[in-house]
């Protein structure tokens, strides 16, 4: 006789899928728009630096990709929840989605604010470019940490 | 009271139920995995908060004093360490969650209370680690920002303010130490035979 699967497992699992995508995209959009405003302000007087200054926008865009990756992986896992440990898997996938989503949100906030300040400062002082890139890399790594833990959590059975 | 099936509880029994009896029907796995998410997510929010607080000051001050750029990246690295504390604790906590295969019939209440103990201890580990790393990230960010601005004016002040920053980063370490002790006692299977 087939065991019935605890229905709340799907509820929490799909909350995880949604939160991974939604929060990561929130972070990505904040990063892109905040640095974008800086680029537009800076570009008025230094149009040659615009293409170099688009780097924070690209790094913020990557955060949305992290959210999408985790969302797709979790969606596949939630659809195939086994009956034996259904509720455990449901909560684990909720946790995975929250980890990736909120980490990417935090990273996006950081990338946006640092990118905005960085591109404006870069327009005034050439030597700042390397420093800005280093700080942006540290901020991007935060989202990577969330992605790693999400992928570990998505492997629970 | 005899717990039995909560769907069979009468109104009177619900009125006399303790806090434990009201919360016990929330799955212990929910508490443990939510604790993992809290530990990681709030640590990383703290780290990112610190990075942008210090990063903005660093970039602004470097415009007029380019020499401070490389030295003050250490403040950003201190903030990154806060995120790594969160990752370490998250991975430790994931390893603590044990699957409960089945309960022996005569021990359901003891086994379930052990599972609840495991769940609650992981949740509150997540809260303590996460919140202390959040505060630590902000502290390191603010002191790092002051460090960059002061260094731009007077190079001698860099090391002195860095000492303050090191004290600030110890806050996250305290949270990790307490968290490790908290979750080391978490056991889902302690009194159960399976």
Mean pLDDT, chain B, as a whole number?
91
A19-77 residue pLDDT tens: 999 999 999 999 999 999 999 999 999 999 999 999 999 999 999 999 999 999 999 99
Q: CA-CA distance, B32 to A6, in Å (whole number)?
A: 18
Q: What are phi and psi of B94, to 5 degrees?
A: -60, -35
The residue among A6 and B4 whose pLDDT is bigger is A6
Nearest Cα of chain A lies from the Cα of B103 at a distance, in angstroms, of 14
ipTM: 0.93
Name the range with the highest mean pLDDT among A6-10, A66-70, B183-187.
A66-70
Q: CA-CA distance, B48 to B51, in Å (whole number)?
A: 5
Q: CA-CA distance, B32 to B121, in Å (whole number)?
A: 8
A72-86 residue pLDDT tens: 999 999 999 988 888
On the question of pLDDT at A145 being above 90, the answer is yes
Verdict on whether the full-model pTM lies above 0.90: yes
**Which of A125, A130, A104, A89 is closest to A28 using CA atoms?**
A104
Q: What is the pLDDT of residue B10?
A: 84
Q: CA-CA distance, B107 to A144, in Å (whole number)?
A: 43
Nearest Cα of chain B lies from the Cα of A85 at a distance, in angstroms, of 8
A132 shares contact with chain B (CB less than 8 Å): yes
Continuous H helices in chain A = 8-43, 50-53, 55-79, 86-124, 128-153
Asked if A110 lies within 8 A of B55 by C-beta distance, the reply is yes
Tokens of A114: 């640092």
Residues of chain B positioned with their CB less than 8 A from the CB of A114 = 51-52, 55-56, 59
B134 shares contact with chain A (CB less than 8 Å): no
On the question of pLDDT at B156 being above 70, the answer is yes
On the question of pLDDT at A1 being above 60, the answer is no
Whether the CB-CB separation of A140 and A62 falls below 8 Å is answered with yes
Cβ-nearest to A95 among B36, B48, B49: B36
Q: CB pairs below 8 Å between A and B: how many? A: 143
Whether the CB-CB separation of B84 and B176 falls below 8 Å is answered with no
CB count within 10 Å of CB A52 equals: 14
Q: CA-CA distance, B22 to A45, in Å (whole number)?
A: 64
B105-126 residue pLDDT tens: 777 777 888 888 999 999 999 9
Residues of chain B positioned with their CB less than 8 A from the CB of A134 = 73, 76
């Amino acid at each position: 006789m087939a065991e019935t699967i605890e229905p709340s497992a799907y509820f929490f699992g799909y909350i995880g899928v949604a939160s991974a995508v939604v929060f990561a995209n929130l972070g990505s959009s904040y990063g892109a728009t905040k640095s974008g405003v800086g680029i537009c302000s800076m570009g008025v007087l230094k149009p040659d630096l615009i293409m170099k200054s688009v780097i924070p926008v690209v790094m913020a865009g990557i955060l949305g990709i992290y959210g999408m990756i985790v969302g797709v992986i979790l969606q596949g896992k939630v659809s195939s929840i086994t009956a034996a440990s259904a509720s455990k898997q449901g909560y684990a996938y909720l946790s995975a989605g929250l980890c990736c989503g909120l980490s990417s949100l935090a990273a996006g906030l950081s990338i946006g604010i640092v990118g905005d300040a960085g591109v404006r400062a870069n327009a005034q002082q050439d030597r700042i470019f390397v420093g800005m890139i280093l700080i942006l890399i540290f901020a991007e790594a935060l989202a990577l940490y969330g992605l790693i833990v999400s992928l570990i959590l998505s492997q629970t059975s | 009271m005899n717990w039995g099936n909560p769907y069979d509880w009468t109104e009177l029994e619900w009125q006399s139920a303790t806090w434990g009896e009201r919360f016990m029907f929330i799955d212990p796995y929910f508490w443990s995995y939510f604790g993992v998410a809290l530990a990681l997510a709030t640590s990383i929010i703290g780290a990112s908060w610190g990075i942008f607080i210090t990063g903005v000051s660093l970039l602004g001050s470097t415009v007029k004093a380019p020499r401070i750029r490389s030295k003050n990246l250490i403040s950003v690295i201190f903030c990154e360490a806060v995120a790594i504390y969160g990752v370490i604790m998250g991975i430790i906590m994931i390893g603590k969650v044990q699957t409960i295969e089945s309960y022996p019939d005569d021990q359901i209440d003891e086994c379930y209370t052990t599972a609840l103990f495991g769940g609650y201890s992981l949740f509150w580990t997540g809260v303590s680690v996460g919140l202390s790393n959040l505060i630590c990230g902000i502290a390191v960010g603010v002191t790092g920002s002051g460090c960059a601005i002061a260094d731009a004016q007077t190079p001698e002040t860099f090391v002195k303010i860095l000492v303050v920053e090191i004290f600030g980063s110890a806050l996250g370490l305290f949270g990790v130490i307490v968290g490790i002790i908290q979750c080391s006692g978490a056991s889902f299977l302690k009194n159960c035979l399976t």
